[in-house]
Amino acid sequence: MGKNLTSRSEDYSKWYNELVVKADLAENSAVRGCMVIKPYGYAIWEKMQAELDRMFKETGHQNAYFPLFVPKSLFEAEEKNAEGFAKECAVVTHYRLQNDPDNPGKLRVDPDAKLEEELVVRPTSEAIIWNTYKGWIQSYRDLPLLINQWANVVRWEMRTRLFLRTAEFLWQEGHTAHATKQEALEEAEQMNDIYAEFAQNFMAIPVVKGLKSESERFAGADETYCIEALMQDGKALQAGTSHFLGQNFAKAFDVKFTSKEGKQEYVWATSWGVSTRLMGALIMTHSDDQGLVLPPNLAPNQVVIVPIFKTDEQFDAITIVVNRLTTSLRSKGVTIKYDKRDTLRPGAKFAQHELQGVPLRIAIGSRDLENGTVELARRDTLSKETTPIDGIEDKVVALLEEIQLSLYTRALDYRDSHITEVNSFDEFKEVLEQKGGFISAHWDGTIETEDKIKEITKATIRCLPLEGEVKEGFCVFTGNKSARRVLFAKAY
């Protein structure tokens, strides 16, 4: 199966699309731009959800659920936010179908069932949530309000790609309310830190933490924190964002609280989210021409065991050993699948598990039983060894940790070697075209310059990094004074 994949060097984009479908992660549906997330892909997403949910709850957040629909009058209340999303809104206008008198057996929209006010399918939930918070917040005692929602959202994108950009996607959106600006800023930064920690420690994806430039900010935000990752083709991917919303939504929805001092004040807000887009980041960070490569933390099955046998007796003898092994490995917290399907030959199973990125494969045949060995194969390095079955449990646990770390280190090395400082616009363009990756360059801070660079090179400012030295200099494009270097890249 693996050999049927287009190679990355041949066509990276085609490789990605093929891998997503062939590894059984997701596929396109009958609805334009909407995907079906298949069981194997969804199992990976569930692991991400569980870990993120744990991290959110540990930092005092609670889950809740708000309506899918936003009445148009609420949607337009915060003008910048509305303007930012208006062009990609799916709109419900009717609430009933009826038999089509012209086409027996077919239905049509009932013209008498037109809604008085159209409903926008949420592209994001600030409007409906802040309209609700108005009823929940009266006093400083009601603050902070720390709420998260796991939900589907819809943004009518014209060009879609599985996981990376789909009309409907799954995400979590946190929406918090605070008594002070300082507290809201700290919350926005804290959640961005949590995303970074999750990406690095759990997904083995190194990220740059930063702030967005004004033109790349979330519509309605005063400041957008982000984590930016680098894909194998040298393009950046925004993996998560956390917004300081100032008092914009509080003012749009008139949400005030009585302070300890008895004064009426507008509430300060944040919102933050990551989505099924992370699946795209995961795939494009670690995978290779043989297929998906999964960090053990995210693998639905960390280990797969394949029996090699000809007779039923051989199979039974192998199975006894396998059952003992799976029991002891499970007790160490390892997830295992015993692939005893009789409809596929071992070679086909190997290819499938390779394609699907199972971190470790154990093959056991009759000769192994005699010798007290197994064949142990690592997905990340594609290396194999024959090793004694005695003590294999500790070896597996240690290897899983090693693979998790090694994937991170490999991605970090790649990322770090693809951050290039440039000092002229010629160098900028050359590095962008020849090498790709992040380009660290001085910028004069104007939207005008940002737009022109984007127009000429297709590179955008990914972020103003939060870490590292900040030094003044001169803009690579205009030569004007620059307060600091920022990171440019072509991006997904």
Phi first, then psi: give them for residue 246, nearest 5 degrees: 60, -140
Per rule CB under 8 A, is residue 270 in the interface with a copy of itself?
no
Looking up tokens 């609420």 gives 74
Per rule CB under 8 A, is residue 54 in the interface with a copy of itself?
no
The least distance separating a copy of itself from the CB of residue 279, rounded to whole angstroms, comes to 11
Cα gap 110→482, rounded to integer Å: 60
**Judged by CB under 8 A, which stretch of 3-11, 60-68, 183-191, 232-240 contacts a copy of itself?**
60-68
Per rule CB under 8 A, is residue 254 in the interface with a copy of itself?
no
Which of 9, 58, 65, 469 lies at the binding interface for a copy of itself (CB under 8 A)? 65
Per rule CB under 8 A, is residue 71 in the interface with a copy of itself?
yes
The least distance separating a copy of itself from the CB of residue 224, rounded to whole angstroms, comes to 23
Q: What token pair was written down for 177?
A: 């309310």
Cα gap 299→114, rounded to integer Å: 47
Which of 17, 51, 84, 156 lies at the binding interface for a copy of itself (CB under 8 A)? 156
Which of 18, 59, 84, 109 lies at the binding interface for a copy of itself (CB under 8 A)? 109
Please say which residue, 104 or 391, places its beta carbon nearer to a copy of itself: 104
Quote the strand ranges of 255-383, DSSP E.
256-258, 264-266, 268-275, 303-308, 336-338, 360-365, 373-378
x/- letters, 9..28, toward a copy of itself (CB under 8 A): ------------------x-
Per rule CB under 8 A, is residue 137 in the interface with a copy of itself?
no
Which of 35, 284, 303, 336 lies at the binding interface for a copy of itself (CB under 8 A)? 35
Question: For residues 411-450, which are near a copy of itself according to CB under 8 A?
Answer: none
Per rule CB under 8 A, is residue 63 in the interface with a copy of itself?
yes
Per rule CB under 8 A, is residue 68 in the interface with a copy of itself?
yes
Phi first, then psi: give them for residue 63, nearest 5 degrees: -90, 150
CA distances from 191 to 20, 210, 273 (A): 29, 12, 9
Please say which residue, 42 or 408, places its beta carbon nearer to a copy of itself: 42
Q: How many CB atoms are located within 10 Å of the residue 193 CB?
A: 16
CA distances from 53 to 42, 45, 203, 280 (A): 16, 12, 15, 20
**Judged by CB under 8 A, which stretch of 82-90, 187-195, 424-432, 445-453 contacts a copy of itself?**
82-90
Q: What token pair was written down for 201?
A: 């420690």
Q: What token pair was written down for 153?
A: 């959202």
Per rule CB under 8 A, is residue 39 in the interface with a copy of itself?
yes
Please say which residue, 351 or 377, places its beta carbon nearer to a copy of itself: 351
The least distance separating a copy of itself from the CB of residue 24, rounded to whole angstroms, comes to 10
Per rule CB under 8 A, is residue 95 in the interface with a copy of itself?
yes
Cα gap 421→476, rounded to integer Å: 11
Amino acid at 337: K
Q: With contact defined as beta carbons under 8 Å apart, do 175 and 64 qualify?
A: no
Which of 90, 419, 483, 491 lies at the binding interface for a copy of itself (CB under 8 A)? 90
Closest-CA residue to 415 (of 157, 158, 235): 235
Per rule CB under 8 A, is residue 405 in the interface with a copy of itself?
no
Question: For residues 158-177, which are near a copy of itself according to CB under 8 A?
Answer: 168, 170
Instruction: List the alpha helices (DSSP H) in 239-276.
Output: 248-252
Please say which residue, 35 or 281, places its beta carbon nearer to a copy of itself: 35
Which of 5, 44, 52, 89 lies at the binding interface for a copy of itself (CB under 8 A)? 89
CA distances from 139 to 75, 312, 377, 403 (A): 26, 72, 60, 50
Per rule CB under 8 A, is residue 104 in the interface with a copy of itself?
no
Residues in CB range of 75: below 8 A, 6 or more apart: 82, 85, 89, 120, 127
Which of 5, 19, 70, 389 lies at the binding interface for a copy of itself (CB under 8 A)? 70
Residue 139 Cα to chain centre, angstroms: 36
**Binding residues for a copy of itself, per CB under 8 A?**
27, 29-31, 34-39, 42-43, 46, 62-72, 74-76, 79, 82, 86-99, 105-107, 109, 118-121, 128, 131-132, 135, 141, 147, 151-152, 154, 156, 168, 170, 343
